[in-house]
Structure 1
Amino acid sequence: MKVSTKVFGEINNQEVHSYTLKNNKGIEVTCLTYGCIISDIRMPDSKGKTESIVLGFDTIKEYQDYSPYFGAVVGRVAGRIKGGSFQLDNQTYDLNKNEGKNHLHGGLDGFDHKLWEATPIEKEDCSGVEFTYLSKDGEEGYPGNLLVKVTYTLNNNDEFTISYEGSTDQKTLVNLTNHTYFNLSGDAKRTVLDHILKLQSSEFLELDNDLLPTGEILNVADTPFDFRKGHNIREGVESDNLQNILVGRGYDHPFLLDHTKEQQISLYDPLSGRKIDIDTDQPAVVVYTGNQLTEDFEIRGSASQKYLGICLETQGLPDSVHHKHFPSCELTPNETYKAVTKYKFSVYNNV
């Protein structure tokens, strides 16, 4: 399978390249050297019409001016870090604060703003791109030189895989994710309110007013957070549950995955027939339903609006450095950070 490439734009006199992976079933994935951004995923619907199923832009300037992390790899640490500081081995590290008094998604100039080195991968049964970036000691306040590798691959079984690796020369924090906004209606013609989400998750994290975990782990039973049998996004948006209201009516919550043999995460749009099944080795997925999307920009000709996309951010638990009962995101020089998430695209013709 081949990889096609072209110049997408320019930042600080450096070219930004796009890479497009295409399989023999009509699935296309386009990604950028800027922020490791997945700028487009295209797939057929139940009637064979191929459209985009993610939110993105056609120019670098739009990504710089408007993007709420559309399609980007975020890090070093995904999510919020309370107070923009943490302690490792009794030493305090102060991070850049880019959301009030807190640190969000790697800071002011996180991985989503970086130019990554890229190497195409072309094999008989798959194609992909390997991205690498060296985050230097002290970047955004984090300790250690962290070498990161992110690999995107697409095969002829309609499977798209994201693999992450990281190594450091000093103890540090690492928790990476991809921040793609999915909309299976095609070309963002509808919101995701009637998308059906199914999660193999019995518990989720309670959030405080800053959208930080309180440390409490709540049971999903008898709440709009119970997606074990699947239900639409609208249920949470219209809910009077205080946690739904807190985040702007919807979801912006970490769900702990049960890691059963069933598909861990499924997203389905009944009208288009498009479906994505997601498996990951990560302990959680943050479900964000675009509650904070504003209306002051366009997305490839469509006006932005709340609930126009849903993010399914597979990762470790946010702010784990302040909650010792959460799985740790600390990385030492004798360890390698590894994470894998696989997306399976399919179409149902009974619509």
Structure 2
Amino acid sequence: MNKLKFTAYLLSFSLSFLLVEDAFSQNLNSAGKSFITTETIGQVEGHDVLQYTLQNKTGMKVQLITYGAAITNIVTPDKFGEMNSVVLGFDSLSDYAGSQNQLLGSTVGRVANRISNKKFTIDGKEYTLTSDIHGGAKGFDKRIWSSKKISRKNEVAIEMTYLSKDGEEGFPGNLLVTITFTLTNSNDLVIDYKATTNKATPLVLTNHSYFNLSGGKNTKILDTELTVYADKYLEYGDGSTITGKIIDVKATPFDFSSSKPIGKDIDKVQQYTNGYDVTFALRNQSDKLVLAAKAFEPLSGRELEVYTTEPGVVFYTGNWLSEKLKGRNGVPNTKNGAFCLETQHYPNSINTPAFPNTILRPGKTFTSKTIYRFLVRK
């Protein structure tokens, strides 16, 4: 080897060593620390979409994108200490923005779930919407949200904001919505909702994450054991339209008042989807933050506790998930491959006076809190 080549070799070796040393130092410095990273992952309709990665001191990670104010990934440990994703997601922004995305991790509004016949009346004026479900044809899940990092001691948080203008999707009023996603060092993902308006408008917000607590080791969630702290559920008529009646869960397939596997009675559910898509009326109707549901996955030992100030929770078992649509790492989605626990007010409340109020008026501030707490049973 001549002197010139030898010198080049030494420089190359030194550079490689420094890069490895720098990467090692970054990993060492990030261990045991909470931090947030940010990157631009593409554009939708000419607007940049940001992705935030939040990591706490235990190593749990949550990823969010500003398209749809969506939770795209949650990585938690199982009983063996192995870190895996526990929510469905996609590999690309184009999949999230695609027509086949079934609200994976999205924020849903202005009114989540259904408004019958796409119509409602407030103070004697009738309004007609672009769709009867999930906030219209282009709801909050298809909008670009503003975002910023929030400084908090020992916690990492992202605030996302969206101004839904008067008349958007047929709804009245300029509605300003702020959602703060906080990852704590006790492995809580806290979602705080806040909204104000200049005209009376219906408002029902939720998050539509699909959970599989096995971390992908089980393609179905039928063995996951679920408890819902509710004694009643909302009766449905054709399809999933709510009739307005609230039914006792006893002696029905909807009885999760004590823990049972999701798949135990799923074949008995005579819904149009041949699976669970039901709203539970929670025992708590006080607006206080309480435990609403608990899910335990025996294979991984992971446990999810859901706390909320909302009066209801929608339990959905991914009945329309299809293998035709590939998820994260190219893995096909599977019917009943994940479940949702969507904390919210009742469907069609705006047209059902007996249901809890969903009208936000000027001068009032809407607030709501939901916590997804991740635990492990050894």
Offset of residue 295 of structure 1: 2.5
CA distance in 2 between partners of 1:255 and 1:247 (Å): 18
Are positions 1:280 and 2:314 aligned together? no
Cα deviation code 1:203-251 (max 9, x no counterpart): 0001111311101110011222111111111023222xxxx22232221
| Aligned amino acid, residue 298 of structure 2 | P
Aligned match of 1:151 in 162, 180, 195? 180
Aligned to 2:122: 88
In structure 2, what residue type is equivalent to 1:298? K
Unaligned runs of 5+ in 1: 98-102
CA distance in 2, matches of 1:123, 1:167: 24
Letter in 2 for 1:158: N
What are the equivalent positions in structure 2 for 1:4-83 lying under 5 Å apart? 4-65=37-98, 66-83=100-117
1:122 Cα shift?
3.1
Question: If the length of structure 1 is used for normalisation, what is the TM-score?
Answer: 0.94
Give the letter aligned to residue 270 of structure 1.
Answer: P
After superposing the two structures, state which structure 1 stretch, 144-153 or 263-272, moved more.
263-272
Separation in structure 1 between the aligned mates of residue 212 and residue 244 of structure 2, nearest angstrom: 31
- Hey, what's the Cα distance between the residues in 1 that align with 2:300 and 2:275? 22
- Greater helix proportion: 2
Pair 1:321-2:354 in alignment: no
Partner of 1:176: 205
The number of aligned residues is 340
Q: Is 1:238 aligned to 2:271, yes or no?
A: no
2:257 is aligned to 228
Report SS of the residue matched to 2:374.
strand
Higher mean Cα deviation, 19-28 or 252-261?
Answer: 252-261
Q: Distance in 2 between matches of 1:262 and 1:35?
A: 27
- Give the Cα separation in 2 of the matches to 1:348 and 1:262: 21
| CA deviation after TM superposition for structure 1 residue 270, in Å | 0.5
Q: Residues 44 and 97 of structure 2 are in contact (CA less than 8 Å); yes or no, is this contact kept in structure 1?
A: no
Deviation at 1:189, TM superposition (A): 4.0
Displacement of 1:188 after TM fit?
A: 6.3
Confirm or deny that 1:108 pairs with 2:162: no
Q: Among 322, 346, 353, which residue is 1:294 paired with? A: 322
Aligned mates of 1:341, 1:64 — CA distance in 2: 25
Q: What CA distance in whole angstroms lies between the structure 1 residues aligned with 2:153 and 2:362?
A: 36
CA-atom RMSD in angstroms: 1.4
TM superposition shift of 1:258: 0.8
Residues 7 and 187 (structure 1 numbering): CA distance in 2 closer, same or farther, change over 3 Å? farther
Q: Where in structure 1 do 4 or more consecutive aligned residues deviate above 6 Å? A: none
- CA displacement, residues 123-174 of structure 1 (integer Å, 9 cap, x when unaligned): 2310010000000000000000000001100111111100101100001110
Query: Is residue 220 of structure 2 the alignment partner of residue 205 of structure 1?
Result: no
Q: Which one has the largest radius of gyration?
A: 2
Q: Output the CA distance in 2 between the equivalents of 1:262 and 1:332.
A: 26
Amino acid at match of 2:204: N
Work out whether residues 316 and 329 of structure 1, in 8 Å CA contact, stay in contact via their aligned partners in 2: yes
Per-residue CA deviation, residues 35-90 of structure 1 (Å, 9 max, x unaligned), is 00000000111111111000111211111222100000000000011000111111
Q: Matched residues in 1 for 2:204 and 2:320: separation? A: 23
What is the Cα deviation at residue 294 of structure 1? 2.2
Contact 2:322 2:332 in 1 (8 A): no
